[in-house]
Structures are given as C-alpha cells and as structure tokens.
Amino acid sequence: MGTYLITGATGGIGTAVAELLRERGHDLVLTGRSPDRLGELAGKLRTGAAHAATQSIAIAPGAPPAAAPGASITTVPLDLTEPRRIEAVLAGAELPGRLDGVIHAAGVVHLSPVAELEADEWMDHLSVNLVSAAEVTRLLLPALRAAGGHVVFVNSTAGLRANPEWSAYAASKFGLRALADSLRAEEPSLRVTTVYPGRTATEMQRRVRAQEGHPYAEDDFAAPGTVARVLVAALETPRDAVVSDVTVRPN
Ligand SMILES: NC(=O)c1ccc[n+]([C@@H]2O[C@H](COP(=O)([O-])OP(=O)(O)OC[C@H]3O[C@@H](n4cnc5c(N)ncnc54)[C@H](OP(=O)(O)O)[C@@H]3O)[C@@H](O)[C@H]2O)c1
C-alpha cells in the first residue's frame, strides 16, 4: 500500500480522490484550510462513511471494494494563499519520508473581465492555484523521489483555452501545465500527470454558475467521483508508462 498527500482534500474532487484511495487501503495525508472540515472528512473516511455522490461510483473490476481499516489518515491544515508560509507548516507536520503520490486538487476561481480584475485577485489565483502547487511539490520532492512517486496536478480545460472573464484562473492553470511539463522533464524517477477536468459538480462549479448568473444543476456536469476515477486510473497505470495529460469533460 502507498501513502498519498492530497491538497484540497475537503473539496469535491479532492474528497472523491481520497475516498477512492482509501478504499484501496492507502495511507492518506489530507490538507485543506479548515481543521474542523479536515477532521470531519478523516472521520468519515476512517469509518467508510463516504458521501453519497462518490459512494455510488462503481469501483473498477478487480479493485478492492471496501476501506482497509488499518491504513492511517493524517490531517494537515494548510492555507495556500501565502506560499511563503508553507515550508514552516510542512516542517511541523511530521510527514512521512516516502510519498507515493501528491495530488494537487486545491483551487480557487473568481470570474471577472480583465478591465475589473485587480492585482489582489490575480495574486490570489496565482498563489493558490500555481505558486503553492510548485512550493508544495518542491518541499515534498525528497519524499517523492524516495518512493519513485507520482505527482498529479488537477488542472482545468480553462488551462487549455482562456475564455472571457476567466483570465486569472486560466493563467494560473496554463502555468500549472508548465510546472507539470518541466517537472516531468527534470525528475525522471517520478511520474507526472496533468488532469484537465471540464465542468464538474462541486461547490466551485456552484459558485461559478452563480457568478455567471445561471442556475446550478448537478446533473449538467461531470460527477467528482468520475473525475477521481480518471485520476486514480492514471495513478494505477503500470510503471512502464505514464498518463502525462488527460482531459475529462461532462458528456
Ligand atoms: N469544479 C469544476 O468544474 C472544476 C473544473 C476544472 C477544474 N477544477 C479544478 O479542480 C480542483 C478541485 O476543485 P473542486 O471542483 O473540487 O472545488 P471545491 O469543491 O471548491 O474545492 C476546492 C478545494 O480547494 C481548497 N482551497 C481553496 N482555497 C484554498 C486555500 N487558500 N488554501 C488551501 N486550500 C484551498 C478548498 O479548501 P477549503 O475546504 O479550505 O475551502 C477545497 O478543498 C481545483 O484545482 C479546480 O480548479 C474544477
């Protein structure tokens, strides 16, 4: 069994990934901003009480269907708004010396035209979505190298094409692709995957729809559990190959 650290574990996609990895018996390090929400999530994962949206996802044939009771779940409250503070938090977290994978699932988005997008908004997007992902990766590289680990960046189809009002978010995600591609070339002992989800039924999408002035209907979007299955399939790809980039859109 492996050990996986997930940023944005309290979010829709991060939680769905945590559930699938937990079902497979892996140890987890969960990060997010709120200690209470992290504790609640860890409790649910320990008892196997996953939330309905992902519990209904069928597990791939051959995969173990239930949570392995012995695996450990650690929570690390971590705010990614200020990348300079991450090193001290991780240093105090007593993280394992070997990590089989890091899944970068934290992210923020605020829609606004360039004409109205002030510097603080730009810095918030770039800090949370890009610079912190680079900093977390840098700090965890020794543990990843020790295990020949896998780094997964949850990007976005907005990281492939920038639409009106999406400039700051898209710029952060275009940058996240550059980070992934450079890392893959620099660290041959690691595997690096970028997942580009389209619109997915999470709180982020609910907020995006409100900002766009449209009603939110969960069924219009991909389920977070489906995106998580694609991500975990990349993690479980045999070591002779790497899923470098994969796009998963609502059907
Ligand atoms: N939903 C979509 O349609 C969609 C589409 C394409 C790509 N994505 C990407 O998928 C990833 C997961 O998004 P989601 O849809 O699961 O959204 P979500 O449910 O809103 O979850 C976002 C996660 O990011 C964390 N986060 C936000 N700001 C943070 C900060 N300053 N410091 C630390 N953590 C922070 C949140 O933690 P808290 O619990 O502390 O708020 C939460 O765990 C993001 O990278 C997003 O860009 C989403």
Is 63 among the domain residues? yes
CATH of the domain at 66: 3.40.50.720
Task: Please state, in angstroms and rounded to a whole number, the distance separating the CA atoms of residues 121 and 65.
Answer: 42
Is 251 among the domain residues? no
Residue 62 C-alpha to ligand 1 middle, in angstroms?
30
Report yes or no: 149 and 101 within 8 Å, Cβ to Cβ: yes
pLDDT at site 217: 96
Q: Which residue segment(s) compose the domain that 73 sits in?
A: 3-240
Number of domains in the chain: 1
Is 135 among the domain residues? yes
Residue 169 C-alpha to ligand 1 middle, in angstroms?
12
Residue 107 C-alpha to ligand 1 middle, in angstroms?
4
pLDDT tens digits for range 51-103: 433 333 333 333 333 445 568 999 999 999 999 999 999 999 989 999 999 99
Number of the ligand 1 atom closest to the C-alpha atom of 9: 43
Is 245 among the domain residues? no
Q: For the CA atoms of 73, 77, 78, 84, what is the dihedral angle to 10 degrees?
A: -120
Rounded to an integer, the average pLDDT of 167-184 is 98
Name which residue sits closest to atom 18 of ligand 1, judged by CA. 11
Rounded to an integer, the average pLDDT of 213-232 is 98
Is 246 among the domain residues? no
Number of the ligand 1 atom closest to the C-alpha atom of 158: 6
Task: Please state, in angstroms and rounded to a whole number, the distance separating the CA atoms of residues 74 and 5.
Answer: 9
Is 249 among the domain residues? no
Is 21 among the domain residues? yes
User: What is the residue-wise DSSP string for 106-149?
Assistant: --------GGG--HHHHHHHHIIIIIHHHHHHHHHHHHHHHHT-
Q: How far is Cα of residue 195 from the mean position of the Cα atoms in its chain?
A: 9
Rounded to an integer, the average pLDDT of 177-205 is 98
Residue 199 C-alpha to ligand 1 middle, in angstroms?
12
Is 112 among the domain residues? yes
Residue 240 C-alpha to ligand 1 middle, in angstroms?
31
State whether residue 176 is helix, strand or coil: helix
Rg of the chain on CA atoms, in Å = 17
The pick from 5, 6, 7, 13 for probing ligand 1's pocket by mutation, whose C-beta has the most ligand atoms within 8 angstroms, reads: 13
Residue 204 C-alpha to ligand 1 middle, in angstroms?
6
Name which residue sits closest to atom 7 of ligand 1, judged by CA. 156
pLDDT tens digits for range 9-45: 999 999 999 999 999 999 999 999 999 999 999 999 9
The pick from 135, 204, 219 for probing ligand 1's pocket by mutation, whose C-beta has the most ligand atoms within 8 angstroms, reads: 204
| The length of the chain, given as a count of residues | 251
E strand or H helix at 39: helix 35-47
